Amino acid sequence: MEVFSGRSPGPERHPPVGPSRRHRASLLDLRSAAGQVFLLQVVIVVLLVVAAVAAAVLQTARDAVQLGRRESVVVAQAFASAPGTAEALQSRDPTAVLQPRAEAARKRTGVDFIVAMNTQGIRYTYPYPQEIGKKFVGTIAPALQGRTVVEQAGGPPLPAGKGTDVQAVVPVTDSHGKVVGLVSAGITVKNVSALWMPQLPIILGSGAVALALAMTGTTLVSRRLRRQTHGLAPAELAELYEHHDAVLHSVREGVLITGADGRLLLANDEATRLLGLPADARGRPVPELGLPEPITRLLSSPETVTDELHPAGDRLLLVNKRPTYPHADRGGSVVTLRDTTELAAVSVRAEMARERLELLYEAGVGIGTTLDVERTAQELADVAAPQFADLVTVDLLEAVLRGWEPTAEGWRQLRRTAIGGDRQMMPVYPPGEVITFSARTPQMRTLQERRVMLEADLREAHGWREQDPERARKALECGLRSLVTVPLRARNVALGVVNFYRTADSAAFEPEDLTFAEELTARAAVAIDNARRFTREHAMAVTLQRSLLPRGQPEQDALEVAWRYLPAEAGVGGDWFDIIPLPGARVALVMGDVVGRGLHAAATMGRLRTAVHNFSTLDLPVDEVLGNLDDLVIRIDNEENTDDAAAGGEGEGVTGATCLYAVYDPVAGVCTIARAGHPEPVVLHPDGTVTCAGVPASTPLGLGGHPFETAEVSLPEGSQLVLYTDGLVEDRTHDIDAGMERLRRALDGSGGRTPEETCQAVIDALKPSPACDDIALLTARTRRFPPSRVAEWDVPQDPALVPSVRARCRETLRQWGLEETGFATELILSELVTNAIRYGSPPVRVRLLHGRCLICEVSDGSGTSPRLRRAATTDEGGRGLFLVAQFAQRWGTRYTPRGKVIWAEQQLLDAGPAARTGPTPVDFLLDQFDDPDA
């Protein structure tokens, strides 16, 4: 069997300069390889001559033996195939049947014995009957497998006497091909000598010729070897072989060489170790080596393989395969094996570490995207499941959800805040449920001991099972197996616990998982604590802001009002609105927005709202109200910038505040509007058409030095005036023009809706998600004072006509069914008319309005303002306004472009509990003026 080195022939190298090159020994030089080979060949030729002579002598004996072998095989096969032999071997007495047949056949064929035996080698026949029943001497194993065995062996004495015993053993098969017995036939060959002397000259001549050919062949082979070995001497070749062999068997890489016929030619020690090859593997076919099927298929195929991973037992091998002769058709392959099991384990750990780092990165990016506690807890659960655990639950203290500072007293009761993973498969507490943990549960222990808890097998976790035995039993039946409980701690304060569960389908938690669980939970704890702090501050700001916003609708007859206020998710801002009743049944609508968020914006909004109320009390025109607000914002900015500069801080001015101020008069059906940088209001007409109010835009508050333009808009009864802040129509995804178009579409065709329905429809259509800015929306549907409830007339500039005014007032009240208020109304009206005639300028005009209350108005062309004072007992006058103030619910003065209006409101007796408080009796009031001590 040839064994090839596997090295492809390369270009011929020049022989190295050395002793083998300098000394070209002759054939007679026994120190050279050629001389030694020639001497060996001479010895061989001599031995061959001697052997030829001996062969001639032994030829006759050998021929006799060969003849005996052939005859024994023929006789044995003939007897075994004879009819009845197989049946006789299976009979009850095979010897009785076969012994006569065997002796007759022996005598006819000339063999020395024919032995029939069973499969255990027990003789049934033999020339000498005393040897029957004994063990056959010879090899029968191959014959039992169906093969013929021919051998030389000894045995019991034979009739032929001494000599060489040649015997053949053949199987006897039945009709089914089963071996049922054996037959052996043998011949004793005696030594035969022949005349060999005539052959001696031929033998000697042949030896001489062989010697000459050996000399010539040695010379030629010596020259060829020198060319093929590049001049290397045998010692150098031996040294090179030893080096190659040492390297082959010492490297930590298995090397296999297979032949073209699929047999294993070579396997170094490392390959034997890696594949578990048997000691006799060399020379055996690859399929008989008992290797794993993938390795066997790889070694048997002619394909080239590069860096393929194949399992072999508990090892993972990196395999490369190349043909031994890439440029020839001689076949064979060289296979190298490298054990990458440890590398694979390291790679697995590295891959796990990489996945954990990626998960931590995802946690850093995905946890804390909002400042909502519940949303942050859910983000933690979603990040951890299913990458780290099959099921994740987050339980937080109730104080954390409310934004309060958590305390140890709340540990026993935690609220299930978030669940991650397949919550349907496990019977766990649902989100929102308050859980009271017992002292032995892992959750309570992790809070008390401030460390992570591992329950590798929940079937052995008695504390966990005692918490809710029935729920625990169902969870175990569903496959829940392993638990890691980690405390959520921030600033060394416990916020809750996180429970990581794995099912039976996943590997149980191990101690090395605890560090990762702690790291993941620590990152989430910071985000949850930040959300908790924001929740607290947001709740404080919202509470402050809502306390500054209207709590309910004021009593008024001019408008039917509805509103919506939605704070931003990131924090409250400075949006506000207001509905302020004004004298003369008018109503002021206010909508404002302070740029910024948080407590500062809410507090500033409160200051501005209070200022608007004060300016409205003065009943100033709308442009003057905005002008006074502008001055107030500038003053607030200057004060805060001065304080921040003194403190070395950064100013937080109120730059960017906007406001819209509108006054609606239900008698005239006119709304006077001015806006300082605020979005334009929208009018929804009763027929469903939507238009803009057409109010000119003015600069925002706080810039100073700019006038505020005013617009008067006539509103039919049933129209809806829609006021809003920019958070409704503008966000990051679209500009204000697109938002206005969406608002128009939401309002279009909804003229028949109530203000409440209109507000809800607008919010449903335009509310952004998430809300990045506060949204304030106010919808007011107009009402008109019926002409039948309005009485007005001019009063001549003559004090003598005051009784006629009182008479006309009495008649009007009688028509309205208000006779019970007649005395007080006549008194109020006569006092106001008298003052207007006496101290004012023409024209003097009286107007009575019957609505929720009774309003008396007296206007004149003078700008002087009346002043309430207490008259002395010696004064003849000065008590008129005092009487008006006592009989009226409230009274005041407002200025118009043509003068002023003095008004007084009386609560009607059927208007509610406030009416029953009534004015002070007249007699009692008059007595006060007579009291010298008053």
**pLDDT (0 to 100) of residue 785:** 86
Give the Cα separation of 514 and 482 in Å (integer). Answer: 12
Give the Cα separation of 664 and 624 in Å (integer). Answer: 16
Residue 29: pLDDT above 70?
no
Q: Please write down the HEC assignment for all residues of 558-620.
A: CEEEEEEEECCCCCCEEEEEEEEEECCCEEEEEEEEEEEECHHHHHHHHHHHHHHHHHHHCCC
Tell me what the pLDDT averaged over the chain comes to. 80
Q: Give Cα separations from 579 to 560, 633, 779, 878 (angstroms).
A: 11, 21, 11, 36
172: closest CA among 151, 139, 152, 143?
143
Contact between 906 and 821 under an 8 Å Cβ cutoff? The reply is yes
Give the Cα separation of 143 and 150 in Å (integer). Answer: 10
Report the pLDDT averaged over residues 32-58. Answer: 75
Contact between 392 and 419 under an 8 Å Cβ cutoff? The reply is yes
Instruction: Kindly give the interhelix angle for 373-384 and 512-548, rounded to the nearest 10 degrees.
Output: 160
Give the Cα separation of 461 and 442 in Å (integer). Answer: 9
pLDDT > 90 fraction of the chain, expressed in percent and rounded? 13
312: closest CA among 362, 278, 274, 352?
274
Report the pLDDT averaged over residues 493-511. Answer: 89
**pLDDT (0 to 100) of residue 597:** 72
pLDDT, tens digit (0-9, with 9 covering 90-100), for 273-302: 778 788 888 888 888 888 888 888 888 887
Q: Please provide residue 369's backbone torsions phi and psi, each rounded to the nearest 5 degrees.
A: -70, -20
76: closest CA among 122, 121, 109?
109
Q: For residue 619, give every residue at least 6 positions away whose Cβ sits within 8 Å of its Cβ, in sequence order, or none.
A: 582, 583, 892, 893, 894, 895
Residue 719: pLDDT above 50?
yes
pLDDT band at residue 902 under the 50/70/90 scheme: confident
Contact between 720 and 779 under an 8 Å Cβ cutoff? The reply is yes
**pLDDT (0 to 100) of residue 425:** 67
Give the Cα separation of 75 and 123 in Å (integer). Answer: 17
Alpha helices by DSSP H, 403-468: 442-449, 462-467
pLDDT band at residue 33 under the 50/70/90 scheme: low
Report the pLDDT averaged over residues 758-773. Answer: 82
Q: For residue 770, give every residue at least 6 positions away whose Cβ sits within 8 Å of its Cβ, in sequence order, or none.
A: 370, 569
Strand order in the sheet with 775-782: 559-566, 775-782, 720-724, 682-684, 690-692
**pLDDT (0 to 100) of residue 31:** 63
Strand order in the sheet with 254-258: 264-267, 254-258, 333-339, 315-323, 305-312
First to last CA, the chain: 144
Residue 196: pLDDT above 70?
no
What's the CA angle centered on 234, arms 228 and 237, to 5 degrees? 70
Beta bridge partners of 257: 266, 334
**pLDDT (0 to 100) of residue 267:** 83
Residue 776: pLDDT above 50?
yes
Beta bridge partners of 711: 673
Residue 2: pLDDT above 70?
no
Residue 35: pLDDT above 80?
no
**pLDDT (0 to 100) of residue 641:** 67
Give the Cα separation of 227 and 224 in Å (integer). Answer: 5
**pLDDT (0 to 100) of residue 480:** 87
What's the CA angle centered on 933, arms 928 and 934, to 5 degrees? 35
**pLDDT (0 to 100) of residue 712:** 93
What is the number of other CB atoms lying within 10 angstroms of the CB of residue 157? Answer: 10
From the CA atom positions of the chain, what is the Rg in Å?
60
pLDDT, tens digit (0-9, with 9 covering 90-100), for 635-673: 888 877 665 554 444 445 445 689 999 999 999 999 999
DSSP result, 131-185: GTTSBP-S--HHHHTT--EEEE---S--TT-SSEEEEEEEEEE-TTS-EEEEEEE
User: Which tokens go with 702?
Assistant: 């706080």
pLDDT band at residue 934 under the 50/70/90 scheme: very low
Q: At CB < 8 A and 24+ separation, what contacts does 539-544 make? A: 539/402, 539/403, 540/599, 541/571, 541/572, 541/597, 541/598, 541/599, 541/602, 542/567, 542/572, 544/572, 544/599, 544/602, 544/603, 544/606
367: closest CA among 355, 356, 376?
376
Residue 16: pLDDT above 50?
no
Residue 325: pLDDT above 80?
no
Give the Cα separation of 257 and 633 in Å (integer). Answer: 94
DSSP result, 254-280: EEEEE-TTSBEEEE-HHHHHHHT--TT
Give the Cα separation of 705 and 702 in Å (integer). Answer: 9
Report the pLDDT averaged over residues 700-704. Answer: 86
SS3 290: coil
pLDDT, tens digit (0-9, with 9 covering 90-100), for 608-634: 888 998 898 888 899 999 999 998 888
Residue 527: pLDDT above 70?
yes
Contact between 96 and 230 under an 8 Å Cβ cutoff? The reply is no
Residue 824: pLDDT above 90?
no
Q: For residue 576, give every residue at least 6 positions away whose Cβ sits within 8 Å of its Cβ, in sequence order, or none.
A: 545, 548, 549, 590, 591, 592, 593, 594, 605, 608, 609, 776
605: closest CA among 650, 565, 554?
565
Give the Cα separation of 458 and 471 in Å (integer). Answer: 13
> What is the length of the chain?
934
Give the Cα separation of 123 and 119 in Å (integer). Answer: 10
Residue 27: pLDDT above 60?
no
pLDDT, tens digit (0-9, with 9 covering 90-100), for 543-574: 776 776 777 778 888 899 999 988 776 666 77
CA 226 centroid distance within chain: 71
**pLDDT (0 to 100) of residue 878:** 53
Give the Cα separation of 590 and 611 in Å (integer). Answer: 12
Beta bridge partners of 318: 309, 338
pLDDT, tens digit (0-9, with 9 covering 90-100), for 854-899: 889 888 888 777 765 555 444 444 566 777 777 777 888 888 888 8
Residue 811: pLDDT above 50?
yes
**pLDDT (0 to 100) of residue 770:** 66
Please tell me the least confidently modeled range out of 208-217, 440-449, 496-505, 807-816: 208-217
pLDDT band at residue 55 under the 50/70/90 scheme: confident
576: closest CA among 559, 563, 558?
563
Give the Cα separation of 105 and 183 in Å (integer). Answer: 12
Report the pLDDT averaged over residues 462-491. Answer: 88
Q: Please provide residue 704's backbone torsions phi and psi, each rounded to the nearest 5 degrees.
A: 75, 150
633: closest CA among 662, 672, 596, 664?
596
Can you tell me which residue has the tokens 């929740």? 535
482: closest CA among 504, 462, 498?
504
Q: Highest-confidence range of 186-200, 590-604, 686-700, by mean pLDDT?
A: 686-700
**pLDDT (0 to 100) of residue 342:** 65
Q: Give Cα separations from 400 to 6, 44, 374, 488, 549 (angstroms).
A: 75, 104, 10, 11, 27
Higher-confidence position of 886 and 577: 577
Q: For residue 786, give every residue at least 6 positions away whose Cβ sits within 8 Å of its Cβ, in sequence order, or none.
A: none
Q: Give Cα separations from 624 to 200, 435, 635, 747, 893 (angstroms).
A: 153, 60, 17, 32, 16
3: closest CA among 218, 267, 230?
267
Helix (H) / strand (E) containing 28 = none
Please tell me the least confidently modeled range out of 335-339, 624-628, 777-781: 335-339
Give the Cα separation of 200 and 74 in Å (integer). Answer: 36
Report the pLDDT averaged over residues 204-229. Answer: 76
User: Which tokens go with 362?
Assistant: 């995802």
Reported as half-sphere exposure (CB side, CA atoms, 13 A), residue 201 has a value of 1
pLDDT, tens digit (0-9, with 9 covering 90-100), for 62-102: 777 777 788 888 888 888 888 888 888 888 889 888 889 88
pLDDT > 70 fraction of the chain, expressed in percent and rounded? 83
Residue 122: pLDDT above 60?
yes
Residue 676: pLDDT above 80?
yes
Give the Cα separation of 369 and 528 in Å (integer). Answer: 11
pLDDT, tens digit (0-9, with 9 covering 90-100), for 410-442: 677 789 899 988 766 678 888 888 888 888 899
Pairing of strands 697-698, 670-676: parallel
**pLDDT (0 to 100) of residue 251:** 76
